[in-house]
Amino acid sequence: MNKFHLTEDQQDCLQELINVAMGQASDQLARYLDTFVYLKVPSIESVDAKELLQSLSQQKNTMAIVSQGFFGYEGIRGEALLAYQEEDSGRISDLLGYEPGELSKDEQLIDISSILTTTFLNVFATQIDNQMSYNAPKLLPSVQNSLSEHLQQMTFNWDLALKVNINYQVTDYSFNCNMILLIPETAIVNIKNVLDRILAEF
């Protein structure tokens, strides 16, 4: 346990905030996409960079990863990674309500990623009286091993990261993807301050 780890109270508080945000986000998404969006209870863990690299590179069949940076007030920032499996992304243009020829596969992935990330984080930001801005989402080049490479090249240096794993499922379109929010060390301290403030207000 060091200053970057969440206490049990902080962890519970964050879990609760994320659960509420997820509920609202999935409701908004369902209305926009006109279909049910299932979200599993997210897992939150502190991971060190090495472990994270390992667990991510073990995920097989990952076809594409889209990365989008986010930043808000009070030093809350991080990067959202959305990982897609080959078999789960055949009908994204359908899901988004586009005609098949209207956009490329890459653009479909980027569009759905951006929608999932920003919808969730906007709601989450409201929960903590914050407001998020976003970078344009980027499709990471050739997935093979590139995820670990990408993590190594990330602009911020970190040994420890807060990893929030959220699974989105849209069964009507056999769509499934994983959102991983990576929050670097320095931003973890800022999140802890925010959590402490919320806990104190109870």
Residues that bind another protein (CB under 8 A): 28-29, 31-32, 96-99, 102-104, 106-107, 110-111, 114-115, 118-119, 122, 134, 136-139
- HSE, side-chain direction, 13 A CA sphere, residue 175: 24
**Residue 99 or 201 having the CB closest to another protein:** 99
**Residue 51 or 75 having the CB closest to another protein:** 75
Nearest distance, CB of residue 168 and another protein, angstroms: 14
**Residue 51 or 134 having the CB closest to another protein:** 134
Nearest distance, CB of residue 153 and another protein, angstroms: 17
Nearest distance, CB of residue 155 and another protein, angstroms: 18
| DSSP element (H, E) containing 117 | helix 105-127
**Residue 95 or 195 having the CB closest to another protein:** 95
10 vs 128: CA distance, rounded Å: 13
Is the alpha carbon torsion for 128, 134, 139, 144 positive or negative? negative
In the chain, % helix, strand, coil (3-state, to 5) comes to 50, 25, 25
Nearest distance, CB of residue 125 and another protein, angstroms: 11
Q: Which tokens is 124 given?
A: 């989450």
**Contact (CB, 8 A) for 137 and 160:** no
Which residues pair with residue 43 across a beta bridge?
165
**Residue 37 or 56 having the CB closest to another protein:** 37
C-alpha of 97 from chain center: 23
Nearest distance, CB of residue 1 and another protein, angstroms: 36
